[in-house]
């Protein structure tokens, strides 16, 4: 029987959104700022990047807490997928499913992420590797250039009514819409 | 203690990101096609409660766990870096279907190809650090 389970089923937006706000506020109460992309900079600094750019020349030992938060997020992904979910399927809009099927995706939404992009086999093809690498480069470069990502600008920044964060979020959507509507159809 | 609290909070956030499906490429794809309210509901409700929470913290000059008054730094008031940097990040978000938080989440959930995205995100961060002086902000 398909019994509903509030923990094991996907969490609806009206549960997830408030919990994310709670996380952001908890960071503040721990004396820290909620921003996931800043840990990338910390990792670069730990790796010795201070020798080539002053962006990484800071006392990273004072930022080690961020690495603990990062390790926690990785653990959270492991726990969420292995202990708190019965199925990795995503209940997508039927229009989205149709659109992806037309683009050649087999059973869109049956897994948490599409095998067509993230399977080990695809990641080992030159095209698949290039796709993931370019996406990663853009994420790393763009977030540091903009001084934050979805957590730092869209959640923390907008919650603090920062106009720069609004500009950044508008940028996020310009980029995302260009990627989704114009680049993905060319490369998938 | 500080580190353990961060580990716990991070773990909780990772679980929320996974369970909300905000770490799913499919959800991001659907969002950028404006075909679901789900992601907008998550971000909208988080912001709504966030604005209230931050206002209360600031007006009451609340203190953190260590007794310091909570101060949130204002962002530099420029435009170029946010618009260009934001758009570049948005391109990566649209392609990989994940922002930095979900990259960590998916590594934990077992998507090992996300390690490629993480390593290149670190390279991207490094590249920005090197080029920063030559970029308009």
Residues of B in contact with A39 (CB under 8 A): 100
Q: Yes or no: say if B19 and A73 are a contact pair by the CB < 8 Å rule.
A: no
Q: Please, which residues have CB within 8 angstroms of residue B111's CB and are 6 or more apart in sequence?
A: A112, A113, A118
**Pick from B5, B22, B48: CB nearest A30:** B5
Amino acid A181: pLDDT? 97
User: What is residue A94's predicted lDDT score, i.e. its pLDDT?
Assistant: 96
What value does the mean pLDDT take over residues A58-79? 97
By CA distance, what is B32's nearest residue in A? A177
Which residue matches tokens 């020349």?
A57
Q: According to the model, what pLDDT value does residue A188 have?
A: 85
Contact B50 A156 (CB under 8 A): yes
Do A133 and B107 make contact, defined as CB atoms within 8 angstroms? Answer: no
pLDDT band at A35 (very low <50, low <70, confident <90, very high): very high
- Chain A with chain B: Cβ pairs closer than 8 A: 503
Name the residue among A125, A62, A185 with its Cα closest to residue B33.
Answer: A185
Residue range B11-32: average pLDDT?
A: 98
Mean pLDDT of chain A: 96
- Among the listed residues A130, A71, A67, A74, the one whose alpha carbon sits nearest the alpha carbon of residue B111: A74
Shortest distance between the Cα of B59 and any Cα of chain A, in A, equals 12
Q: Give me the mean pLDDT over the B91-98 stretch.
A: 97
In this predicted structure, the answer to whether residue B70 has a pLDDT above a threshold of 70 is yes
Q: What are A75-112's pLDDT values in tens digits? A: 999 999 999 999 999 999 999 999 999 999 999 999 99
For tokens 């509507």, the residue is: A181
- In this model, does residue A29 exceed pLDDT 70? yes
Tell me the C-alpha distance between A115 and A28, whole Å: 37
Structure tokens at A170: 């508008």
Structure tokens at B104: 């960590």
The H-assigned helical ranges of chain A are 13-29, 38-46, 64-82, 94-102, 115-118, 120-123, 126-146, 158-159, 163-178, 184-187
Mean residue pLDDT of chain B comes to 97
Torsion of Cα atoms, B41 then A81 then A33 then B56, to 10°: 40
User: How far is CA A81 from each of CA A75, A85, B93, rounded to the nearest angstrom?
Assistant: 10, 6, 21
B-chain residues near A80 (CB < 8 A) = 14-15, 17-19, 105, 108-109
Contact A25, B57 (CB under 8 A): yes
For B95, the token pair is 């392609």
Range A157-166 average pLDDT? 96
Sign of CA dihedral B63, B68, B69, B72: negative
Report residue A4's pLDDT band, with 50, 70 and 90 as the boundaries. confident
Cβ contacts of B88 within 8 Å, gap of 6 or more: A138, A141, A142, A145, A146, A171, A175
**pLDDT tens-place string over residues B47-65:** 999 999 999 999 999 999 9
């Amino acid at each position: 029987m398909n019994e509903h389970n509030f923990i094991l089923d996907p969490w609806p937006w009206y549960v997830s959104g408030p919990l994310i706000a709670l996380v952001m506020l908890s960071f503040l109460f721990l004396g820290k700022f909620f921003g996931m992309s800043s840990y990338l900079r910390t990792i670069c600094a730990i790796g010795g990047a201070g020798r080539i750019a002053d962006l990484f020349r800071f006392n990273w030992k004072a930022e080690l807490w961020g690495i603990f938060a990062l390790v926690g997020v990785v653990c959270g992904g492991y726990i969420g997928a292995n202990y708190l979910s019965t199925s990795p399927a995503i209940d997508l809009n039927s229009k989205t499913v149709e659109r992806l099927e037309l683009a050649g995706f087999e059973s869109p939404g049956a897994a948490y992420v599409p095998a067509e992009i993230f399977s080990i086999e695809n990641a080992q093809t030159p095209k698949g590797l290039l796709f993931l690498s370019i996406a990663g480069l853009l994420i790393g470069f763009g977030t540091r250039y903009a001084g934050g990502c979805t957590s730092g600008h869209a959640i923390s920044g907008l919650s603090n009514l920062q106009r720069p964060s609004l500009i950044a979020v508008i940028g996020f959507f310009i980029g995302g819409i260009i990627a989704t509507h114009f680049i993905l159809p060319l490369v998938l | 203690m500080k580190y353990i609290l961060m580990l716990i909070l991070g773990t909780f956030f990772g679980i929320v990101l996974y369970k909300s499906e905000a770490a799913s490429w499919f959800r991001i794809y659907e969002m950028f096609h404006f075909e679901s309210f789900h992601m907008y509901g998550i971000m909208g409700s988080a912001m709504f409660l966030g604005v209230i929470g931050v206002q209360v913290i600031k007006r009451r000059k609340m203190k953190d766990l260590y007794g310091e008054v909570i101060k949130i730094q204002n962002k530099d008031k420029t435009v170029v870096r946010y618009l260009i940097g934001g758009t570049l990040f948005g391109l990566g978000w649209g392609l990989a279907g994940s922002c930095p938080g979900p990259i960590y989440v998916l590594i934990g959930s077992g998507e090992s190809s996300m390690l490629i995205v993480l390593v290149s995100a670190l390279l991207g961060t490094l590249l920005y650090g090197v080029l920063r002086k030559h970029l308009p902000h």
